[in-house]
Structure 1
């Protein structure tokens, strides 16, 4: 009888040991999740600190975005760039042609000839006036005609130069068949609204060029959180498709509330101006900041 009791006690003890050595599956999954979260927090620039989180977007100063318009009416005859093309200041984006260009250039040469004629006439009459051979009224009329012809020529010349014509070549008899459409800044072509054969006027927006050398982040901070940040605070974000966390700093805080979103715009500078290839203007970003205790 005693041996039977010892045998039963041994079986119960063995079963108890096996039960205590096996963890429930749910408990193990919880521990794994906690470990992953801890590792992620450790790899974050802010570690386990409490965070503020905001949405924002990549932007450039107004002076860094340049819209190119047609400088004269005409037909788009050539387009030399695509969206994404990097261009330098003065680069030719396309060309325009029109039959009226020949008329304008001919009128410039006629205006130049008329100015020379009136100038010679005035100089000749000035000599006669000095000898009192002509009246004051005659010399005044000659001066008026001379100045009028001069103004007409110079006005036409400046107008054609503003359109992109080389007036020096025109006055030598070398007429231009087309005018170039050029960019005034160095940057990337982000928009192309021109098409070959298109009839364009000076009000038509043809290209947009963006200089990405001064990218910044515009944060949209809820009004309730605006008191939790200050100029000089550091923020972090991960670009779309990127693997490296980028760093920035709060530079300006607006005091106007955007009524549609109940947020305030906050201007942030990037730590380094080397992220142009990683970021796109208008790109939405998710920004995190360490919450102050």
Structure 2
């Protein structure tokens, strides 16, 4: 009997130990599953965000789809507006003198030949006297030459006298021509005033005025600037790596705030054959349509797009692409609308037979969530309000892309809102 009793106790102990072992394994497995689920949920929350139905309507989230757009592939280049040298004049005087009058103001338009100021210098009076004296001598010597030629032809006077008169006539003619050339270079007549006019050599707008009334104007010093903006063009700095894609005839476009963000177009007409500075850039010159350049000012900074080629690429509205760190994302709306998690659902459970109140129903409806997932993309060219995108991972062909409100979703995701999944 004793042996039978011991055998039964051993069997019971073995069975008990086996039950304990299964219980421990089940508990460990449950804990592991729970930790795995929590880790999955945590990883999932890093690139997902959920909005309640109220938030969804308030923010005004709009969705669209990926489109195939005909976009220009571009090279971005910075530069300045400028005018050709023949359309810019720095005006100085060939003779010094005291500024008598200034007849224009900065910013006014002047035509070619317009008198901008007058300078008084008594030396011009001597030039006029030299010219008039030479003219008088020429008249006398011409008559004397004619008389001496007649006498010489009749062998009354020796030819030596005729040659002397001829030489004096030539000297006076040269003196008169020199005096006249000087006066013409000063834009003066051969008689009259001692005031030297400063004349605009081109039509355009008066820039900086560097003289004052009563001051002494020195030769070689710029007194006025006149700029003709009708032939405005761009000087763009293009890096060495992009030169192979640039050619004459390509179109460029840029936007200036003073033009109401209107897109202004131009055409490349010249490419320098040497580097312009230590930054290893080459100057590329582009013409601007005269109708678009009338309100431009030389020296304006611009950021332009040089259009390389036109191609059809997958694209989304540019506001749909957001940057987080050093990566770019778009958001897609997931195709299901979930309610809140089990914890919130349990909070709304009621005992069997108890009716829902209107407040409970409203609260439950308010917790309905719309889920969005961030999808990494590689952005390409941006043109006409659309950005080319390449998806790092495949998305459904009918995916709903958030085209309005992506920045709000990024902010909500960064903020780690209390969204439970």
Query: What is the TM-score of this pair, normalised by structure 1?
Result: 0.77
Contact 2:269 2:285 in 1 (8 A): yes
**Alignment CA distance shift 1:225-1:121 (3 Å):** same
- The structure 2 residue matched to 1:277, chosen from 281, 284, 294, is 294
Query: Is the partner of 2:167 in helix, strand or coil?
Result: helix
Shift of 1:203: 1.7
- Count of aligned pairs: 256
Contact 1:239 1:279 in 2 (8 A): no
- CA displacement, residues 134-171 of structure 1 (integer Å, 9 cap, x when unaligned): 1122211111111111211222122212212212xx2x
User: Corresponding residue for 1:99?
Assistant: 122
Cα distance between partner residues in 2 of 1:161 and 1:85: 26
Find out whether 1:178 has 2:195 as its counterpart: yes
Find out whether 1:202 has 2:202 as its counterpart: no
**Alignment CA distance shift 1:24-1:223 (3 Å):** farther
- The structure 1 residue matched to 2:183, chosen from 151, 160, 168, is 160
Query: Is the partner of 1:156 in helix, strand or coil?
Result: helix
* Bigger share in strand: 2
- CA displacement, residues 37-61 of structure 1 (integer Å, 9 cap, x when unaligned): x9xxx9xxx9876643210111112
Contact 2:235 2:285 in 1 (8 A): yes
Larger radius of gyration: 2
- CA displacement, residues 83-136 of structure 1 (integer Å, 9 cap, x when unaligned): 211011111111111233333322322222222222222222222212212112
User: Corresponding residue for 1:10?
Assistant: none
Structure 1 residue runs of 4+, over 4 Å off?
46-51, 290-293
Contact 2:250 2:308 in 1 (8 A): no
* Unpaired runs of at least 5, structure 2: 1-49, 312-421
Cα distance between partner residues in 2 of 1:135 and 1:62: 60
**Alignment CA distance shift 1:245-1:119 (3 Å):** same
Cα distance between partner residues in 2 of 1:195 and 1:247: 41
Cα distance between partner residues in 2 of 1:253 and 1:100: 48
User: Corresponding residue for 1:22?
Assistant: 52
**Alignment CA distance shift 1:184-1:127 (3 Å):** same
* Unpaired runs of at least 5, structure 1: 1-19
- The structure 1 residue matched to 2:265, chosen from 243, 247, 252, is 247
Counterparts of 1:1-293 in structure 2, within 5 Å, are 22=52, 51-167=74-190, 170=191, 175-243=192-260, 244-270=262-288, 272-290=289-307, 292=309
User: Corresponding residue for 2:339?
Assistant: none
Shift of 1:23: 7.5
User: Corresponding residue for 2:41?
Assistant: none
User: Corresponding residue for 2:407?
Assistant: none
